[in-house]
Structure 1
Amino acid sequence: MTTFPTVPADLFRFTTGPNAELHTAVLHAFGEANERLETALTLDDVHHELRRNHRPVSDEELKSALRSLRQWGLVDTVQHHATHYTSADDYERENLRHVLTRRGEAATAAARYARKIIGSTGVLEAAHLDAIADRLEELRTSDVRTYAALLELESHLDAFQTGVQLFHGELKRVQTQDDAKRETVAHLQTFVSDLDARKERIRQTLALIDAEEVRERALKSAHVRDELQWLQQRKDAWAMLTAWFEEQRIDELEDIARTVIVELLRALDRISEQRRKPTNTAADFRALASWFARTNNDDEAHELFNAAFGLWPARHAHLQHADGELIPSAEPWHNTPAVPVSPQLRRTGKQEHIGATGKVRDVEQIRRARKEQAQRERHELELAWQQLQTDGPIRISSLQELDHDAFDRLLDLVGRALAALPDSTGTRAASTSDGRVHIRLRNARGWAKITTQRGTLSGPDYVIEVQRR
């Protein structure tokens, strides 16, 4: 049974209670001073840090906070005897120096890490995978940088793990935000674009490394007190690395990313469809009627009518009456006889031109050629389906040489299946557009190569079952 070391009960007590904000600010002040290698602070030093990063407090408030932190074992007080003091107040302010204990350093680091995690967002960074692969290459080839490369490798693995965990937790939030959906799709597409090559590079390099020998080389330059504990920590980190890049686990991460891409794209499509409201003619006429009701006179009504129905001077304005001299040019159009307008002009914008009837072509030869082409294509299609039909589930990698037409049909079928959602067993199903051929597909956790007359294609292996109906 695995046992875990317990955390001291008072370690995070400074984060609760009415003075939690002041206690946290004081520890933060010590933490910032430690970064500048100022390990011991006087009362005035702490006052200065609080004024700079928090708010001014009185001596009594600060002394009370330091007493509480000292009771919880987070701060200790030491004396400085190198100076002569002229008063009791000077003695208290200059002689007493306050330092963080080991527990205080741990509490400060934990609080900073918690704030960092709360304020960070989950990402799947392909750069971490590249960095992991680079550090593994260094472990194989460089003895000088073994220790540094090993620690950098663990750091990149930890960052990758944290990003995956945070990203997985944020997916529910993404489902409710349209902008986040689009950003997530773009991010995931970038992550999975070259994931196959990255994970294969890491797996191959891991297979070539002797982990025990790497740890022994790193230990020579580590200069640690507890060698057994250090070696166990490195062993645990290496086990985590190999577990992450086992074939099944990293492939599951890729499957999750691709599934999320499909789901988010479908959600965005549904949102776009909802925003594209169909044209409602009745609503348009009601709006037009309200506009007519707001016109002030007939001229405005005529202008609105012309704008709404497009009855401006049009293409048929050049048409004339049979005897145009009988009608004065200044005569209003509504007092003149109508001019016949060709329906062809209204429909296409062109006048009818009556000409000689074209010769009727002999289409018998065209029909015969098309019939022969259709028969040939049907025969090629039957041959392709015969090549692809399986008696049961098979791996794509077991298909040795395919006719290029059959290869095209296979790619189309596999593409249709990958676009479909998997069922509870991880199986995807799809059919051709005519429904005559059906495919069932599931992951095979491997790599496949298919050769045709035009070359070789390599990609993820799948178990497929192709049936004709």
Structure 2
Amino acid sequence: MNQPEHIRETADLFRHVSAERATAYRAVLDAFATAKRQFRLHLRPDEVRSEAHWPDANTPALEEVQSLLAQLVEWGNLRGHADTARVATIEDFYRAKFLYQLSREGEAVETGLAAFAQALQRRAELQTVALEDIQTQLAALARLAGEEPFDDARIHQTLRELVHVFEGLADNAEDFMAGLARTVELQAADAATIVAYKDRLIDYLERFIGDLVAASGRIAETIAALEPADELLRLAAAREARDAAPGDDQASEAAIERALAAWRERWAGLHGWFLRSESGPSQAQRLRARARSAIPRLLSAIARVNERRTGRSDRTADYRELARWFADTEDEADAHRLWRAAFGLAPARHLVLTVEEEVAATTPWVASPAIAIEPTLRERGRLPSAGGAPKMRDRSAEKAWLAEKIAAEDAQLAAARQRLATDRITRLSEIGRLDRHAFKLFLNVLGEALAAMQEPDARIERLTSDGSLALTLEPIDEAPIVTIETDDGTFAGRDHWIHVREVE
């Protein structure tokens, strides 16, 4: 099936990568890319020949360089123009001389290949400095949001720098955690290298986790203080839309809405990275959890490497080596001695066991009668001691004591449940004094409820882990701090409505 013309032309732009003289073509195009970075518009063949970094330092002839340039022009990577600047005679005029420069398509190819090479060479890292930069930019944005009138230029610049730093932090963190899971490089390293790498990596992770915990809280507070940030984002979108191509009013409004949608998406990503959402914890919390879990996984990988290095050799290799030893024996007697040394299938007469019939010492083990071996000899390596079986001990007193203690604990637990589980809603301040058992049950129930809390002012309904009690906990607006006296001390906290009830 024939391909469309534009697809064939696009494919020609990459033919130099897999061509026969690919390294020479890349040297030519690298020379043009360097020239463009130096703001040079054209190169002549002799300049390409002298400036390119040729493979193996073998500089080709000028005719070969011209052939390479012509082929790249045919593929569309370069453009050639007649060079009339050096014409001195009629012969020079009619002789083909060209100036070469990257075509628009060739520039796109070089940009893509450079980005590809940079992505492969990039070493991901956890950027603590980026956290500081995000704090700085957010603080600057908060100051600008409090000024009247708004400085849209400075707000736009601050948002762009904030997004640039944040994207670098997120991309590098994702790449680092993905690369951390791959510990294949540890397999071939020596023990000293493994230990040194492990120590450096653990210190690196612990330092980043500490900085992330300290910085993420302040960043989350600043983001929450800036909410809603739609007005600031609209200012940045309107300033960006000024560079849109001219058109009618409807096209200008559409350009503003597109820019605003892009800025809302970026802000939502920043918000979700540092603040918890309905879908779960923030990305910073997940990154911290993954970094913490990476430390034991790294230690486990190192332990497996050490086990492989210090453990026994492969059993298959052992059998192969033993087979070679058998093949090298000179006679059958040597083979039998090797068999006995390798597998230990010798008579068990050294155990001094009682046998039903006498067997000569020269009898092979395979021809000897079976011998019953006591289980204790198999398990512990020694024969059972002589004498009768030990007497049975009467433990009825201990069992009665345990039953009495269990009954007392059940009674205490039942009394504590009856003390807390009522049919009415009450306040914490009205509970009164609690004994040790009731207070312990109260703490268990309250702890399970607080573990499910997502917002401090939300109502909580929770079953205990055994499903026997149900708890309803509801905060009271502007409630004072109340205290509950217990046998173990004083419990203090914000007053709440509380209802503990039995579940049938």
Q: TM-score range by the shorter chain?
A: 0.5 to 0.7
Deviation at 1:122, TM superposition (A): 1.7
Structure 2 residue aligned with 1:194 = 211
Partner Cα separation in structure 2 for residue 9 and residue 33 of structure 1:
25
Partner Cα separation in structure 1 for residue 256 and residue 131 of structure 2:
25
Deviation per CA, 1:323-377: give whole Å up to 9, x if none.
Answer: xxxxxxxxxxxxxxxxxxxxxxxxxxxxxxxxxxxxxxxxxxxxxxxxxxxxxxx
Answering whether residue 179 of structure 2 is matched by residue 170 of structure 1, we say: yes
Deviation per CA, 1:145-197: give whole Å up to 9, x if none.
Answer: 44544443343234224313422332243365234443332222222213243
Answering whether residue 235 of structure 2 is matched by residue 213 of structure 1, we say: yes
Task: Give the direction of change, closer, same or farther, for the CA distance of 1:274–1:11 in structure 2 (3 Å limit).
Answer: closer
Deviation at 1:52, TM superposition (A): 8.0
Deviation at 1:80, TM superposition (A): 4.4
Q: List aligned pairs for 1:197-346, cutoff 5 A.
A: 197-198=215-216, 199-201=219-221, 203-204=223-224, 207-210=227-230, 211-220=233-242, 232=258, 235-236=261-262, 239-240=265-266, 242-243=268-269, 245-246=271-272, 247=276, 248-250=281-283, 251-268=285-302
Q: List aligned pairs for 1:408-427, cutoff 5 A.
A: none
Answering whether residue 33 of structure 2 is matched by residue 22 of structure 1, we say: no
Deviation at 1:58, TM superposition (A): 1.9
Structure 1 residue aligned with 2:112 = 110
**Residue pair 2:137, 2:161 contacting (<8 A) in 1 also:** yes
Deviation per CA, 1:103-128: give whole Å up to 9, x if none.
Answer: 21121122222222222222121222
Partner Cα separation in structure 2 for residue 231 and residue 180 of structure 1:
50
Task: Give the direction of change, closer, same or farther, for the CA distance of 1:276–1:73 in structure 2 (3 Å limit).
Answer: closer
Structure 2 residue aligned with 1:49 = 51
Partner Cα separation in structure 2 for residue 451 and residue 114 of structure 1:
63
Partner Cα separation in structure 2 for residue 209 and residue 231 of structure 1:
15
Partner Cα separation in structure 2 for residue 9 and residue 159 of structure 1:
32
Report the residue type matching 1:255 in the other structure: A
Report the residue type matching 1:101 in the other structure: S
Q: Scaled by the length of structure 1, what TM-score is found?
A: 0.52
The share of aligned pairs that are identical, in percent, is 23
Partner Cα separation in structure 2 for residue 151 and residue 88 of structure 1:
58
Report the residue type matching 1:188 in the other structure: L
Partner Cα separation in structure 2 for residue 112 and residue 451 of structure 1:
66
Task: Give the direction of change, closer, same or farther, for the CA distance of 1:215–1:207 in structure 2 (3 Å limit).
Answer: same
Task: Give the direction of change, closer, same or farther, for the CA distance of 1:67–1:119 in structure 2 (3 Å limit).
Answer: same
Report the residue type matching 2:69 in the other structure: L
Task: Give the direction of change, closer, same or farther, for the CA distance of 1:235–1:102 in structure 2 (3 Å limit).
Answer: farther
Partner Cα separation in structure 2 for residue 399 and residue 46 of structure 1:
66
Partner Cα separation in structure 2 for residue 399 and residue 90 of structure 1:
83
Report the 3-state secondary structure (helix = DSSP H, G, I; strand = E; otherwise coil) of the residue aligned with 2:80: strand
Deviation at 1:75, TM superposition (A): 1.0
Partner Cα separation in structure 2 for residue 51 and residue 264 of structure 1:
42
**Residue pair 1:80, 1:96 contacting (<8 A) in 2 also:** yes
Residue ranges of structure 2 left out of the alignment (5+ in a row):
1-5, 145-150, 187-193, 312-433, 456-464, 466-480, 484-488, 493-504
Answering whether residue 426 of structure 2 is matched by residue 390 of structure 1, we say: no
Partner Cα separation in structure 1 for residue 110 and residue 164 of structure 2:
20
Partner Cα separation in structure 2 for residue 234 and residue 80 of structure 1:
49
Partner Cα separation in structure 2 for residue 49 and residue 380 of structure 1:
89
Report the residue type matching 1:174 in the other structure: T
Deviation at 1:38, TM superposition (A): 0.5
Deviation at 1:10, TM superposition (A): 3.2
Partner Cα separation in structure 2 for residue 65 and residue 202 of structure 1:
58
Task: Give the direction of change, closer, same or farther, for the CA distance of 1:218–1:384 in structure 2 (3 Å limit).
Answer: farther
Structure 2 residue aligned with 1:97 = 99
**Residue pair 2:41, 2:101 contacting (<8 A) in 1 also:** yes
Partner Cα separation in structure 2 for residue 170 and residue 27 of structure 1:
32
Deviation at 1:205, TM superposition (A): 6.2
Answering whether residue 101 of structure 2 is matched by residue 66 of structure 1, we say: no
**Residue pair 2:153, 2:239 contacting (<8 A) in 1 also:** no
Task: Give the direction of change, closer, same or farther, for the CA distance of 1:238–1:84 in structure 2 (3 Å limit).
Answer: farther
Deviation at 1:32, TM superposition (A): 0.8
**Residue pair 1:133, 1:201 contacting (<8 A) in 2 also:** no
Structure 1 residue aligned with 2:412 = none
Task: Give the direction of change, closer, same or farther, for the CA distance of 1:112–1:83 in structure 2 (3 Å limit).
Answer: same
Report the 3-state secondary structure (helix = DSSP H, G, I; strand = E; otherwise coil) of the residue aligned with 2:175: helix
Q: Scaled by the length of structure 2, what TM-score is found?
A: 0.49
Q: List aligned pairs for 1:439-458, cutoff 5 A.
A: none
**Residue pair 1:40, 1:99 contacting (<8 A) in 2 also:** yes
Structure 1 residue aligned with 2:477 = none
Deviation at 1:275, TM superposition (A): 9.0
Residue ranges of structure 1 left out of the alignment (5+ in a row):
278-378, 401-428, 430-449, 457-469
Answering whether residue 132 of structure 2 is matched by residue 77 of structure 1, we say: no
Report the 3-state secondary structure (helix = DSSP H, G, I; strand = E; otherwise coil) of the residue aligned with 1:78: strand
